[in-house]
Chain A
Amino acid sequence: MSEERTTLEIIAPTVEEAVAKGLADLGLPSEAVEVEVLDSGSRGLFGLGSRQARIRLTVKNQAELQSIAVGGENTHERSEASREENIPSAALEAVHAEEPEVPEGEDTSLRVARETVAELLEKMKVHAQVTSKYVQPEDPKDQASILIEVHGDDLSILIGRRSETLNALQYISSLIIGKELEKWVPLIIDVEGYRARRERQLRQLARRMAEQAVSTGRRQVLEPMPPSERRVIHLELRNHPQVFTESVGEEPNRKVTIVIKK
């Protein structure tokens, strides 16, 4: 499978127009491409100082197209997220063939965490492999988190729009595991490396939008994000010399804004 993907950047007065133009140029339906908004543009005041919208379209590969045919929903909203999600099918089959391993003398917390998530998934009728391990916290004073990794075919349904489903699964799992172990343990659930990929993209986005704030002198408002994702943006720009960040609005539409330091 080639990693080379056809991409196209389009500039138009609005994002919608840019997407429509790009799709027309490629002759593809909207399901066949990922849309990344590079600049959502600005109408300006009374047409003054308006800026055109800039987007990037990436043509999806066959595997992703098939998963869309099955998954259907939320392809558009997740466009940014699923851009790198083409896992070689051979690797997937390898994971599939493996029986879930139970390491000897496994720690009780890891076992309870793994079994809880596996049972939830089974009852959600999602077929997947679940593994658990400890990850060391960034700050050595913090408690180590349990990382649950979920692997399988066509798991986009487990992530959901703005990782809503993944966060719900993580929340319910951590409640059950906390109750079972009679202590709260920080828990992270990841699906096919989604969170790690997403974090990389968010860091990039943060830097790009900060540059834009500096070059335009204007406050940049990002898309609404869940708290964990906003945190990544705040952290990435924490030591930026020229901008600071703040979140505005109410959940679930709270957004990070990037503001020039005075």
Chain B
Amino acid sequence: MKELIEFVARSLVDDPTQVQVNQSRDVGKVHLELRVAKEDMGRVIGKNGRVANALRILLRVAAAREGKQVSLDVIEPR
């Protein structure tokens, strides 16, 4: 799941070196946090969150394979 987000984020941003994905696991749940350069936020979120929502849908497929639930947050850089 982490690899999926890393792949998509690195493919969409202008600065792939700033792409970072943290994964934390709970019982039956996986939580992913995506960080990208400030200038690239729009590319991974999209208009009305369209990109981020499509990513969540794709993540659900990967998660279902492992019988897990998954959540994705895009974290605002400081």
A residues with CB within 8 A of B: 73, 116, 119-120, 123-126, 157-158, 160, 164-165, 167-169, 171-172, 175-176, 179-180
Contact = CB atoms under 8 A, between A and B. Distances in A.
Given A125-B65, A179-B12, A165 B7 contact: no
B11 A179 contact: yes
Given A176-B12, A179-B11, A157 B61 contact: yes
B interface, over-half SS = helix
A124 B61 contact: yes
Contacts of B65: 124-126
B38 interface: no
Contacts of B7: 119-120, 123
Contacts of A175: 12, 51
Interface of B: 3-4, 7-8, 11-12, 50-51, 53-55, 57-58, 60-62, 64-66
Find the residue from A157, A160, A175, A176 having the highest chain B CB count within 10 A: A175
Contact of A168 (B11, B12, B58, B64): B58
Contact of B4 (A123, A171, A179, A180): A123
B11 to A, nearest CB: 4
A49 to B, nearest CB: 41
